Structure 1
Amino acid sequence: MSMNHYYLLGRSGLRVSPLSLGTMTFGKEGLYGGLWGSTNDVSRALFDRYLDAGGNFIDTADLYTDGSAETLLGKFLEERGGRDRVVLTTKFSYNSAHKGDPNGGGNGRKHMVRAVEASLRRLRTDYIDLYLLHTWDRITPAEEVVRTFDDLVRAGKIRYAGLSDVPSWYAARAQTWAEAHALTPLINLQLQYSLVERNLEHEFTPLAQTLGMGITAWSPLGMGLLSGKYRPSEGGFQGEGRLSSAVGGQQMGLFTERNWKVVATLEKVAKELGRDMSQVALNWVATQPGVGSVIIGASTLKQLDGNLAALDFTLPPGLRQQLDEVSAPPVPFPYSMFSQPHQLVLQGGAAVGDKPTGYTVPVSTAQASVV
C-alpha cells in the first residue's frame, strides 16, 4: 500500500487514498479546538503536506472547531486550487449553531438541507463529494435520511452519501431501503476501529462487505493510547499525552488490564519491526477486511509524516497474529454459536466452507490504481 495507490470506496466508482486526512484539529475555536486545535498556519501546512504526499481524501464536519475546520478547508482549497482532485467529506447531525431550535440539529430533512447549504458556504464549493450522517439521533427514520440524500444528489449538492456512528441494523435498513426504491446507495460507514476497539467486526464488517459500503476508520490509535506515548515497559501508564489529564484515559475506560496487554504487545511488535508504535497500529487497521481508508489526525508535521509512513511496510503474518490474539474482543451471542462444532452439526458432519481467498474479489474491496 502507498499513498499513490487509490482504492474504490464501497460499491462505487469513487477512488480514495488508503489514509484520509482528518481535520478535527483545524482551528482553535470551540471546546475541542481549545484542547488540541492547531493554528491556521499549522493547519495549512498539514493540508499541503498531505496533498503533496499524494493523498486525496479529506474528512471534516460542521461540528469540528465550531465550523472553523470547514472554513479553513474552504480557504485552503480556494488558494491552492485543484478542488476537483480532492475527495471532500463532511458530516451533519449536531446542533452547533441554532441553540434552542428543536430542528436545528438531528438527522431530519429540515436540518439536513440547512446543514448542507451552510457547509457549502464555509467550504467555498458548490458540491460535496461525500456527505455523511454524523451520529444516529435515535429519532429520524432511515427512510427520511435516504430520501433526502437522494434529493441532494439529484440537486447536485453532493456526489455520494454515507453514515457514521449508527447501529448496524439502522445502516442495513437504510441501504436496503435505497436498493429497494432505486435511490442513491450508501457507499461509506465511518466507525471507530483500532486494536483496542474491534467491536465493529462482528456485524459492521460483513454488513459493509455484503451491502457495498467501505469502512473509514476513525480513532485508529485508540484515542491516542496506541500512539507510543504510553509504554508499559518504561515504568508506568501515565505517559505524556492528553489521556493522562484529569479527564483522560481512566475516565474514558481506556486504562484497562486488557488494553495495557494490547499496548505491551504493540510495543514489542513495533520494536521487532523497527517502527513506531503508531505506524504499526495504523498499518494493522488499514489492512483489515472491509476497511476502505483510515482517518489520520495530526497537530504537527512530524506526527503527520510519521502517520503517512505507516503504509511503507508489511506486517509479517506471525506478528499480525500476535496483535490479533491479544486484542481479540469477546464473541457475543449469537456469534458465539457459529463456531466450527456448530457448523459441522448444521452441515451434517460434512466440511463445508467458503472458497479460498482470492477465488473472487468482492466489488467493495476492488483496487483501482490511477496513473
Structure 2
Amino acid sequence: MHYRLLGRSGLRVSELCLGTMTFGTEWGWGADKQESYRLFETFGKAGGNFLDTANRYTEGTSERFLGEFIEADRDHWVLATKYTLKDRNGDLNFAGNHRKNLFRSVQESLKRLKTDYIDLLWVHMWDATTPVEEVMRGLDDLVSRGMVHYVGISDTPAWIVSQANTIADFRGWSPFVALQIEYSLIQRTPERDLLPMARALDLAVTPWGAIAGGALTGKYLRGENGRVPTHSIRRNDKSMTIAQEVVNVAQELGVTPAQVAINWTRQRDQVMVPIVGARTTQQLLDSLGCLEFSIPPEYLGRLQEVSKIELGFPHDFLRSDGVKDVTFGGLYNQLHNHRS
C-alpha cells in the first residue's frame, strides 16, 4: 500500500479507503461483528490506514464497531465520518447541515467511536437550506476546538463546493480538503464539473461505487440477482455493454473485473482514493488485488471508449470546431485535453 496526501493538507492516507457501511446487520445485508473485525484486520495488514463511516451507517453500529476496533491504536488510523442524515424520526433538527445538527451529531459520533477527535468530517450531502457561511463557520469551530482535524464534502454540486471554499479561504476558515462522489465507468458525469473543480481547488477525491454496486463485476451478465433494481442505470443496456468490456479486459490481463473497475478510478490524472467496501473477507481481498497491477494504456483506451459520455453544455459547445476556430483558435480544446 502506498500513501497519498489528502488534497490541500499534509495528512497521509492509504491509496485505498475502507468503507464500513457494511459493518453491522441492521440493514439486512451487512457483516456481523466478527466478520467486520476480519475486514478491518485484513485492511490494516495490507497497509491501509484510512477508514470511512457515517453517523447513520447501520443505525450507528458501524461507528460503534470501529470505535472498538481502533481503540488500541487510535492515533494510527485516519478516521472519517459524516453528518447530515437524520438519526431521529419526526424531529426536524436531527437532520440537515445546520449548526445545531452538526454539533449534536458530531458529539454523538465521538461517543460511539470512543474517541476525542475525528480526523476527517464529511458533510454527507447538501441540504439546499442551510447557508454556506453557517456550514463553513460551524465546521471551522469544530476544527478550532480540536474535535475535528479536517473537513470534506460529499454528494454536493460543484458550484456550492467552490463557493464554500472561496468563502473559507477569504475568512481564514478551514476549507474542504476532499470531495466524496459516486464515480465509476458507469457513472462518469462528475467529469463535467466536479472533477475539474476538485483538480483546480486541490481536493482529493474519494470515489464511492467504483464497481457500481457489483454491476462491473459482471454478476448481472451471469444472471445473478443483487440489491440493484433492474431499472437502475447500473443495469441498463449501456451499463451491461460497459460491464462486458470490463470482464473482457480482466480476462485478457488475468485479473478480476472488480480489480479492473477499481484501478480505472485510481488511474485518473488527479488524487483518487477509491472507497472499497465488502461484506466478506474474500471480497475485500479481491479488491485489494488491484494494488498489484496497473491497466496498460491500450486497455484504458478501450474502457474510456466504451464508457464515454457527452460533456454537455457549455463544454461541448466550447470545443466545437466553429467556436474553437473563430474564437479561441483551438485554445479551449487544448486546455481541456491537457486537464483531462
Provide closer, same or farther for how the CA distance between residues 130 and 351 of structure 1 changes in structure 2, counting only shifts above 3 A.
closer
Cα offset for 1:59? 0.2
The question of whether the paired residues in 2 share the 8 Å contact of 1:10 and 1:292 is answered with: no
Say if 2:85 is the partner of 1:94.
yes
C-alpha separation in 1, matches of 2:332 and 2:288:
43
Secondary structure of 1:162's partner?
strand
Provide closer, same or farther for how the CA distance between residues 273 and 121 of structure 1 changes in structure 2, counting only shifts above 3 A.
same
Question: Percent identity at matched positions?
Answer: 42
The 5 A counterparts of 1:1-371 are: 3=1, 5-29=2-26, 33-34=27-28, 36-78=29-71, 81-96=72-87, 98-231=88-221, 238-239=223-224, 241-243=225-227, 248-339=228-319, 341=321, 342-348=323-329, 353=334
Q: Which has the higher contact order (CA 8 A, sep 6+)?
A: 1
C-alpha separation in 2, matches of 1:47 and 1:349:
50
TM-score (normalised: structure 2): 0.95
Letter in 2 for 1:94: L
Cα offset for 1:188? 0.7
C-alpha separation in 1, matches of 2:48 and 2:140:
28
Letter in 2 for 1:112: L
Q: Could you give the per-residue CA deviations for residues 147-193 of structure 1, whole angstroms, max 9, x where no partner exists?
A: 11100000000000010001111111111110111110110110000
C-alpha separation in 2, matches of 1:284 and 1:348:
33
Provide closer, same or farther for how the CA distance between residues 8 and 91 of structure 1 changes in structure 2, counting only shifts above 3 A.
same
Secondary structure of 1:263's partner?
helix
Provide closer, same or farther for how the CA distance between residues 346 and 118 of structure 1 changes in structure 2, counting only shifts above 3 A.
same
C-alpha separation in 1, matches of 2:118 and 2:290:
28
The question of whether the paired residues in 2 share the 8 Å contact of 1:227 and 1:277 is answered with: yes
Provide closer, same or farther for how the CA distance between residues 322 and 108 of structure 1 changes in structure 2, counting only shifts above 3 A.
same
Q: How many residues align?
A: 338
Unaligned runs of 5+ in 1: 363-371
Q: Could you give the per-residue CA deviations for residues 11-57 of structure 1, whole angstroms, max 9, x where no partner exists?
A: 1111111110000000112xxx31x1101000001001101110010
The question of whether the paired residues in 2 share the 8 Å contact of 1:192 and 1:218 is answered with: yes
Letter in 1 for 2:257: M
The question of whether the paired residues in 2 share the 8 Å contact of 1:9 and 1:292 is answered with: no
The question of whether the paired residues in 1 share the 8 Å contact of 2:132 and 2:164 is answered with: yes
The question of whether the paired residues in 1 share the 8 Å contact of 2:23 and 2:30 is answered with: yes
Q: Bigger CA drift: 296-305 or 281-290?
A: 281-290
The question of whether the paired residues in 2 share the 8 Å contact of 1:28 and 1:39 is answered with: yes
C-alpha separation in 2, matches of 1:349 and 1:69:
51
TM-score (normalised: structure 1): 0.87
The question of whether the paired residues in 1 share the 8 Å contact of 2:180 and 2:206 is answered with: yes
Secondary structure of 1:319's partner?
helix
Provide closer, same or farther for how the CA distance between residues 351 and 121 of structure 1 changes in structure 2, counting only shifts above 3 A.
closer
Letter in 1 for 2:213: M
Secondary structure of 2:248's partner?
helix
Cα offset for 1:346? 2.3
Letter in 1 for 2:7: G
C-alpha separation in 1, matches of 2:154 and 2:293:
29
Q: Could you give the per-residue CA deviations for residues 317-365 of structure 1, whole angstroms, max 9, x where no partner exists?
A: 11100000100112211111122623332234789945997xxxx9xxx
Provide closer, same or farther for how the CA distance between residues 285 and 349 of structure 1 changes in structure 2, counting only shifts above 3 A.
closer
Secondary structure of 1:218's partner?
coil
Unaligned runs of 5+ in 2: none
Letter in 1 for 2:9: S
C-alpha separation in 1, matches of 2:7 and 2:31:
32
Which one has the bigger helix percentage?
2
